[in-house]
Structure 1
């Protein structure tokens, strides 16, 4: 059972989707309950991973599974190669944790073609989990592309009035970046084969040791970086995100913010940086600069929004800038901060989109000017909203503080001191736009008569938020529960990258021509 645990976790939602197809379309309650049960069981199956102390003892890949998948002669091989370490552990756990919450949020929000929505939800979970556990580049690419399909339809069918525009924009941005990455993956494989390196398919751990010439690394890194930067999204490739978030249904926004955006940040850590360490030396200052610009730009634009969901969407751009700054610090503090902030962002921003969904279901508007004085009618909602607001700001004692602090400390210690100083303005701006929005929505006089009739959170909605609140304080008060299991893997990653950056190898002429010749 333990040997196949990752496969069971990854494909159990897909099995659930296949069974769900046999449930009658008009039995909406059964469809939603079954999908919720599948996501809950998936979470329970994944719990042994979180309690396994092997991650704190070793940075090596654990729960490895390897099976031959596609073989064309002795040249072309693709394998089912999966495993996790302390870096991917918490992203897998975040996925299985968020999915039941997202599913439960659909109870009042999704009322058309429920069967199709639930099927896509379960397919999307398998795709996301598969991307996090893949140790074969081709397998990763398959799951990476598979994620695009369910989210495209979730936005395009169940979204708002501009859903088609948002869905197509999301598809075009993501597909273009994916094609660049595919070309780079093919190039790496041909280079490996032509150089005589012992390869068993597209295994990334074998690719780490290829020693690709630096000028080739530059182009390959750019191809991967553009694909991942679109997914993060980093400035200036972020423009698809506010539209996708605004038009997506609540469950779609929660999944997009909490999990799917982490594919980009995870991609940099797992693939782009260790595969092309020579190129990282060249591009690191520019990427760190873009991260800082994203923090400040996202904060300023969020401040100007009159739609509360768009405000949260632009705040997401700003918060992920801290993740990227920590990653590009390339030290233990920065990477620890960046990775724990991926989890924090998933919890806090996912919770904010749930909160927006709660008030939208009651008022069918997201305009900040339409609210005011809601704390008088919804005290439980106001209390939860306040806690999540403090978490998003990064108040000490909450999860947001831990990630941002470590990312800034890491950037400062790595020599990116002025970048860190500039990024701290994002902390101040976050307090401005979040507290200003909270004050306008929750306090003051009730000027709109429609707000007089609002009911406080239901038991279902409170159940949705309580697990998120627990982790807001757990990570904020005792982050070592999570850091202790990721640090060995981060240290091993840093050794891998730093050792390859020592020597800059000049390319053999002509590199491209040589690598495209089959032996």
Structure 2
């Protein structure tokens, strides 16, 4: 096995091995040993994702056999694998730096490591059943963390999440089995074998369309597509910060990833009606859920709703059925994953400093924490899609793809920028500008510390890097998506 293959696989294996070691150490040693082991696990995932990106730039797609079947990355999975590595490491740094003391931090870190291993494996697997299994494996720590370390309303939120995601996951599993059966009549889940089988087999349009519809409903529940979205804002608001970062930033992208990587390439030719329905529902995510986001006074709840709203643009990009739209969706997924993770960090900072996230109760915090204010504004602008950040390239690509399909749909989608600008800049104004509130005056000088800045800076630098050098992601995306017939039917 070559060094590049070992480096790549370490991104999956290292967090899982470190989770087991950290669990063992938590029984016989102190927190320091557990934190050290956890640091190695998350750092290994980050290093694996970055080095794999360098390898891809030099050599192209990577494939390697493992205990979990064939694993590897193409242009689509590379972006998501990199996202998982960056957000995971930032979430770990924030857990160590958090001003809120976490009871049982050793167990907390074990849950995070298991989740990180699932996230990395989810995007590294070339077997769609293993993709699904890694996704479910990563969900379990989220549920545990919510029930143990979540907010006041954690139990009902956790139960609602479990119901929606369990039913959604069952439909996704049924869709995955259907994909395998209708193409080969045998249960094979290797993505390359399935691609070859669909290319050579005479698959019935009705069977393929039904499989896509079933898969789409399940994915809609996982990704919070309207009207299957109600679980997501409550979950992110009640979950511990690190798990909100990992779930909203990375895990939630699985359904979209499955659509781009599996469903459209294999079933896209028969997805016409389903894509029309997805387009309508995605516009409701962008507009209706965007308006709900504007109505939120609690900052963390605002961030939670905004995460749901942004998923609508991703669905619209995929529904355009072209290389430009699908590539734009991946770029939005990447940029949004970074920016929303940073916003959840700011939510905890605000709550810890002022004992509330109620924005109308705040104001004038700029004088107390100027560095935090500057970083906050930068992340808000990234989340809106300002040029210079990764999110911009994804949004402009999706809008360009939608324009070629119709001016009305494009105009409705673009309204999402106006809505996100309103609630984003409103948050800036309410929290940091205007007259100082009593809560802000009482807090005194409370700027963000260096250890608190570290995870934010990592996320922000990644947003800026891709914002100024988007080809690092778009070139691999074009190479991969350009070779998929389903994405070239309407681009010609």
* Same fold by TM-score greater than 0.5: yes
| 1:202 has 2:202 as partner | no
Q: Does structure 1 conserve the Cα–Cα contact (< 8 Å) formed by 2:332 and 2:394?
A: yes
Query: Which one of the candidate residues 442, 448, 454 is aligned to 1:452?
Result: 442
* Per-residue deviation, 1:191: 3.5
Distance 1:185 1:475, change over 3 A: closer
Aligned counterpart, 1:180 = 171
- State the SS of the aligned residue for 1:377: coil
Aligned partners of 1:189 and 1:347: how far apart in 2? 34
Using the alignment, how far apart are the partners of 1:94 and 1:501 within structure 2?
Answer: 28
Query: Contact 1:277–1:500 (CA<8 Å) still a contact in 2?
Result: no
Question: Residues 229-284 of structure 1, C-alpha deviation per residue, up to 9 Å, x if partnerless?
Answer: 22222111111101001101110111112101111211110122122123322222
| C-alpha separation in 2, matches of 1:235 and 1:366 | 26
User: Displacement of 1:449 after TM fit?
Assistant: 4.4
CA-based RMSD of the aligned residues comes to: 2.2
Shift of 1:461: 1.0
1:63-98 alpha-carbon deviations (Å, 9 max, x no partner): 21236x7xxxxxxxxx71222101100110111111
CA deviations 1:143-193 (Å, max 9, x no partner) are 121122111111111100111111111111111011112223333434445
Partner residue, 1:477: 468
Q: Please report how far the alpha carbon of residue 137 of structure 1 lies from its aligned counterpart in structure 2 after TM superposition.
A: 2.2
Query: Of residues 34, 37, 41 in structure 1, which corresponds to 2:37?
Result: 34
SS in 2 for 1:186: helix
CA distance in 1, matches of 2:481, 2:40: 34
Residue number among 70, 75, 78 corresponding to 1:81 in the alignment:
70
Aligned: 1:435 with 2:434? no
Equivalent residues, number: 482
- Structure 1 segment 117-516 matched on structure 2, within 5 A: 117-194=108-185, 201-208=188-195, 209-210=197-198, 211-413=202-404, 415-449=405-439, 451-454=441-444, 455-493=446-484, 495-496=485-486
Q: Could you say which residue in structure 2 is the equivalent of 1:516?
A: none
Give the equivalent residue in structure 1 for 2:48.
45
Q: Deviations over 1:345-378 (max 9, x none)?
A: 0111111111111111223322112311100100
| Change in CA separation of 1:184 and 1:277 when aligned onto 2, cut-off 3 Å | same
Which of the pair has more CA radius of gyration? Answer: 1
Distance 1:285 1:200 in 2: 30
- Residue 110 of structure 1 and its aligned partner are, at CA, apart by 4.8
Which has the higher mean CA deviation after the structures are superposed, 106-115 or 136-145?
A: 106-115
| Structure 2 counterpart of 1:93 | 82
User: Structure 1 length normalisation: TM-score?
Assistant: 0.88
**Alpha-carbon distance in structure 2 between the residues aligned to 1:66 and 1:200:** 19
Instruction: Pick closer, same or farther for the CA change 1:349–1:449 going to 2, 3 Å.
Output: closer
Closer, same or farther in 2 for the Cα pair 1:333/1:184, shift >3 Å?
closer
Measure the CA separation in 1 of the matches of 2:128 and 2:490: 20
**Residue 471 of structure 1: how far off its partner (Å):** 2.2
Measured after TM superposition, the shift of residue 404 of structure 1 is: 0.8
Q: Distance in 2 between matches of 1:185 and 1:299?
A: 32
Q: Which runs of 5+ in 1 are unaligned?
A: 70-78, 503-519
SS in 1 for 2:286: helix
Q: Matched residues in 2 for 1:485 and 1:440: separation? A: 41
Partner Cα distance (1:447, 1:497) in 2: 53
Distance of aligned partners of 1:87 and 1:308 in 2 relative to their CA distance in 1, 3 Å threshold: same
Counterpart of 1:66 in structure 2 is: 65
